[in-house]
Structure 1
């Protein structure tokens, strides 16, 4: 697709962002006081027709639900649902702001398998089990995300999107780790603690540098390893509808600007476990 190998940070002085830029930030929130990355300083580097042709990849929400659960550990189903609706509404508002600036192509990740992250297992002392309250919030969010994107695509002329089912991509690798050649999916490669989920990168914290990193799904508290990221990139460029819909990234990039999409997100068919029994 002609994308440079090294993505320049969006705010790096003198960075050439005419082709591609990384807006990645730590602790990005939908609600609350998370880090915000201004784009006004970049627009002068873009040609007038760059924005409608650009692909905006959005992955956010984890920090909102992480902080909500830590702040309100006893929140009932009604409070959880109200919070999810607030997050979805704010995300919708932010997408509408981007659309109003002539952005039209969006790749949106749903919220990941939060309850199975090493940092969550470690901080909530779940041992080798996932923290299902977190996963429940992620499911509530994800159930509303696809319909919200469909509504935007039907209401906003030329609004084009695809939705990456990051939750179930991680779930498959967690439940059937050896199918994907991951030996460790519940602990991190780098850090300290019961699940190696704290302090990666600090001077007094050592990663397992002598171990083979590609055995691990998670590099640190909540970030995936390079091997995992490579597999996700392949899924984004050409996955089937159970992973990415209504189209893959290659199709979205080449979809004519200003055209309405002809297909929309649909509720995925629930996977079933098939048990293979020997013949008698």
Structure 2
């Protein structure tokens, strides 16, 4: 009997591990009925910019939303990554922009606003700190504490801080750059702590994209089609290197704090490194935009006074406009966020984060993906590679 009991225990552990780490195994899982909240800039903006400014926002007009015949303020030709994550979380209603009147925020909301920053006072936008304060204004009337603790909080912010810094300080030396990165990441830590003190416990932080490879940056800095603007890439890398260790420390010191980090930098970089690699992801164009004008078709998409070009088939493009990805790419990101393995998102994916018991200390930490410890830990995994090549 003792042997049978031990065998049953081992099989049970293996079954749970399989369910959590095999992204193809979702049937039969009971996803908790929690919410999804998003914070940050235009990458996660579900339409808030439209409701914060008195001028027409290009994303409210064709060809934005083209794939869904619905230009509703999202910076894509259709859905964005949080839309797909919400679908996988079995949230039955779209995650709405919180600044739009009379929306249903019972299962979450987007607080993200285009042009958001961590530092300073962005014009007709909200800093991450202001977005969190807006969340606190709505919290008591809409969500109870237990519901918030079990919900997922996705954050992508910081790109505008570095884009503005580089534009305003073109000759900044390494010391000035490092000092600015420290100020940005310290503010990010402070804002995450504010959100944690507001009741949030489950965080997904997305690293910055390789900013120097955005089509609008290549176009503005005249790098040509094959080269990126490396000073911006270096700032993004300096920023990203601080995210994992910061969250490890918060998880070790803040009771019940749980997190994961989505390696967005390398997800994008893998898709633009070479034509051969990008074709394996079924993208024909990864260094220019589908919509816009200029050397990289990166400026003016949707603006009424710009005769921007529109590609014939947006699903063959990684970027829809100069800074934002097509719906096809966004769907890939949604799959990676929800079900990929630790080469892409770690210490756990969003599905594991949702399923992880509230208040339970984390048993794994974030590790640099280049470290021998990380490679050894996952090299012998018996499970599939997940969506890292999706």
TM-score, normalised relative to structure 1 = 0.93
Counterparts of 1:183 and 1:94 in 2: how far apart (Å)?
39
Contact 1:10–1:42 under 8 Å retained in 2: no
How far 1:3 moved relative to its partner? 1.6
RMSD: 1.5
Counterparts of 2:208 and 2:265 in 1: how far apart (Å)?
6
How far 1:221 moved relative to its partner? 1.3
Counterparts of 1:177 and 1:4 in 2: how far apart (Å)?
33
CA spacing shift, 1:238–1:107, aligned 2, 3 Å: same
How far 1:18 moved relative to its partner? 1.0
Residue of structure 2 in register with 1:15 after alignment? 103
Q: Name whichever of 23-32 and 88-97 sits farther off.
A: 23-32
Deviation per CA, 1:4-26, whole angstroms, max 9, x where unpaired? 35221112212111112122310
Residue of structure 2 in register with 1:132 after alignment? 230
Residue of structure 2 in register with 1:86 after alignment? 183
Counterparts of 1:146 and 1:40 in 2: how far apart (Å)?
26
Residue of structure 2 in register with 1:275 after alignment? none
Q: Of residues 93, 97, 113 in structure 1, which corresponds to 2:194?
A: 97
- The answer to whether structure 1 residue 268 and structure 2 residue 369 are counterparts is yes
How far 1:41 moved relative to its partner? 4.2
Unpaired stretches in structure 1, ≥5 consecutive residues: 272-280
Contact 1:242–1:269 under 8 Å retained in 2: no
Counterparts of 1:99 and 1:240 in 2: how far apart (Å)?
26
CA spacing shift, 1:270–1:203, aligned 2, 3 Å: farther
Counterparts of 2:371 and 2:230 in 1: how far apart (Å)?
19
Counterparts of 1:78 and 1:193 in 2: how far apart (Å)?
34
Partner SS for 2:318:
strand
- The answer to whether structure 1 residue 162 and structure 2 residue 263 are counterparts is no
- The answer to whether structure 1 residue 173 and structure 2 residue 261 are counterparts is no
Alignment of 1:84-233 (within 5 A): 84-128=181-225, 129-175=227-273, 176-206=277-307, 208-209=309-310, 211-233=312-334
Partner SS for 2:118:
coil
Contact 2:340–2:349 under 8 Å retained in 1: yes
Contact 1:189–1:207 under 8 Å retained in 2: no
Deviation per CA, 1:53-112, whole angstroms, max 9, x where unpaired? 111000011000000101111111111111111111000000110111111000000111
How far 1:207 moved relative to its partner? 5.0
TM-score, normalised relative to structure 2 = 0.67
Counterparts of 1:48 and 1:67 in 2: how far apart (Å)?
37
Contact 2:289–2:298 under 8 Å retained in 1: yes
CA spacing shift, 1:210–1:103, aligned 2, 3 Å: closer
Contact 2:212–2:233 under 8 Å retained in 1: yes
CA spacing shift, 1:27–1:174, aligned 2, 3 Å: same
Partner SS for 1:21:
strand
Q: Name whichever of 46-55 and 70-79 sits farther off.
A: 46-55
Q: Name whichever of 229-238 and 40-49 sits farther off.
A: 40-49
Counterparts of 1:240 and 1:46 in 2: how far apart (Å)?
31
Residue of structure 2 in register with 1:42 after alignment? 138
Partner SS for 1:162:
strand
Larger radius of gyration, structure 1 or 2?
A: 2
Contact 2:98–2:105 under 8 Å retained in 1: yes
Unpaired stretches in structure 2, ≥5 consecutive residues: 1-88, 373-390
Counterparts of 1:111 and 1:87 in 2: how far apart (Å)?
12
Counterparts of 1:24 and 1:216 in 2: how far apart (Å)?
24
